[in-house]
């Protein structure tokens, strides 16, 4: 057996253990498990995490990697496989088993506690586990030492190679531009009216409609399924088992946009070339690139006029009491209504970046110890008002709205806005090569866009790092100017500017 085949097979078993862990998490989050078993489930997940850690840090793992490093003439796949195996090995060998297990157990308990805290608007009940989560994440970052500062080390877990300074140098200049653009749109004389979404839309019909859209977008139900959860997410339980969730509890059309968003993530995972299945490369290259795919389908496609030319008659059939005599033009403008709001996942694509910048800045201060957990609601509300001009009326609509801190995902948030920036740059290139795409959407045809993305991005899994991939696709580094150009070109006509 060749060394590279041995490395591939060895890490494939680790991937399968990760899929088992994901299955336990999926069962936990889609409310298929009784609340009384939360401690038992946390122990199960901790055990799988321990098995993964033990296998990664074993002497055999180090030996296989060292042998593979001796080979110089490797193809792109083998080189990337060795890179990712070494990255995983180097990270895990720096982390004590007790810390890895404690992080997993705490995350399972904190996630459930967060759900209850959000439901009951009770931030105080979440404080002890959030403080413990932050303490564990600081310890983890200190031991990993990927970058000189702790927060950059945590960011690197989700966006390999990215640092706090690199992201801050992108976010800081765009922040005032977004704030000013929101004010410009808000003062426009012909603003859209989104009052139609104040009406009650039957949750079950929303869910049924979301299934129709998934099928049309080429989501493969033989390789996945959709369920409901407190917070929408996508997870891979195997190379050919990619599941998504949505929610119907929020104002319409959040279920639809959430479904399209998660579909974008799933299409990425479903498009990875078969040669990479069950390998360490069988996943998106970074969360920023992953988010670029979901935001492209949700916003650039799913909020376009052409998309609604095709779908609006179907929506009217589902909700005739609300939409029968409601003009398409008004509905499309309402879907693209820009206004500061409290919930990140429901935010329009203009204000969305400000939601992320808020979390990015707060996480940095939390990890550095500049603010305490007990201060979070007050700091959150104050900074929210500075960025978006409104103050959350309660913690459920404020500091408690996201699952990420309960799950221990510190450093994840900035990848969301990076995704918007990657998305605009990639789509600019797509349109230059395929200017007919908007006409496709009018006919309910989305395969041409999907095929392009699969050819240029999806099939490669994590062979290429984000900075290399964006260069391959667009011939330049990440450039945030494309995003602002996209916003102005789209929203000025909608607002009559």
The reply to whether omega before 260 is within 30° of 0 (cis) is no
Active-site residue set: 262
Integer CA distances (angstroms), 392 to 266, 267, 366, 385, in order: 32, 34, 20, 9
> Which residues are CB-contacts of 447 (< 8 A; sequence separation ≥ 6)?
218
Token pair of 79 as six digits:
């080189």
CB 361 within 8 A of CB 354: no
Helix axes 305-318, 203-216, angle to 10 degrees: 140
- Would you give the distance in Å from CA 400 to the centre of its chain? 18
Neighbours of 280 (CB within 10 A): 24
SS (H, E, C) 339-391: CCCCCHHHCCCCCHHHHHHHHHHHHHHHHHCCCCHHHHHHHHHHHHHHHHCCC
């Amino acid at each position: 057996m060749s060394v590279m085949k041995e490395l591939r097979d060895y890490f494939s078993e680790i991937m399968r253990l990760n899929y088992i862990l994901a299955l336990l998490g999926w069962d936990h989050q889609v409310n298929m498990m009784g609340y009384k078993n939360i401690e038992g489930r946390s122990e199960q997940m901790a055990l799988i995490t321990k098995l993964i850690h033990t296998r990664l840090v074993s002497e055999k793992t180090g030996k296989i990697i060292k042998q593979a490093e001796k080979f110089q003439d490797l193809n792109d796949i083998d080189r990337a496989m060795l890179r990712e195996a070494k990255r995983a090995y180097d990270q895990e060998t720096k982390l004590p088993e007790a810390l890895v297990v404690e992080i997993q157990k705490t995350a399972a308990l904190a996630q459930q506690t967060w759900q209850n805290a959000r439901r009951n608007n009770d931030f105080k009940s979440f404080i002890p586990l959030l403080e413990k989560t932050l303490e564990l994440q600081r310890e983890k970052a200190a031991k990993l030492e990927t970058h000189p500062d702790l927060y950059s080390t945590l960011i690197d877990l989700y966006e390999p190679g990215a640092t706090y300074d690199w992201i801050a140098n992108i976010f800081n200049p765009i922040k005032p531009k977004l704030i000013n653009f929101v004010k410009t749109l808000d003062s426009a004389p012909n603003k859209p009216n989104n009052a139609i979404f104040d009406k009650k839309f039957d949750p079950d019909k929303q869910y049924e409609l979301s299934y129709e859209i998934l099928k049309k977008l080429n989501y493969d139900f033989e390789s996945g399924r959709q369920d409901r959860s407190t917070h929408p997410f996508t997870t891979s339980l195997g190379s050919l088992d990619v599941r998504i969730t949505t929610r119907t509890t929020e104002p319409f059309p959040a279920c639809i946009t959430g479904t399209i968003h998660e579909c974008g993530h799933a299409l990425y995972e479903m498009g990875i070339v078969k040669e990479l299945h069950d390998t360490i490369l069988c996943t998106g290259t970074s969360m920023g690139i992953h988010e670029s795919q979901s935001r492209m389908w949700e916003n650039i496609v799913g909020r376009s006029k052409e998309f609604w030319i095709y779908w609006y008659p179907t929506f009217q059939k589902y909700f005739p009491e609300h939409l029968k005599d409601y003009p398409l033009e008004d509905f499309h403008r309402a879907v693209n209504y820009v206004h500061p709001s409290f919930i990140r996942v429901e935010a329009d694509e203009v204000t969305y970046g400000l939601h992320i910048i808020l979390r990015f800045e707060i996480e940095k201060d939390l990890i550095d110890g500049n603010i305490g957990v007990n201060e979070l609601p007050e700091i959150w509300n104050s900074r929210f008002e500075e960025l978006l001009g409104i103050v959350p009326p309660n913690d459920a609509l404020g500091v408690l709205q996201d699952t990420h801190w309960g799950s221990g995902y510190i450093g994840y948030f900035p990848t969301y806005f990076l995704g918007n920036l990657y998305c605009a740059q990639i789509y600019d290139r797509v349109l230059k090569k395929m200017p007919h795409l908007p006409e496709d959407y009018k006919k309910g045809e989305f395969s041409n866009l999907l095929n392009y993305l699969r050819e240029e991005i999806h099939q490669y899994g994590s062979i290429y790092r984000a900075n290399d991939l964006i260069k391959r696709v667009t011939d330049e580094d990440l450039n945030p100017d494309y995003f602002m150009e996209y916003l102005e070109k789209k929203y000025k006509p909608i607002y009559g500017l």
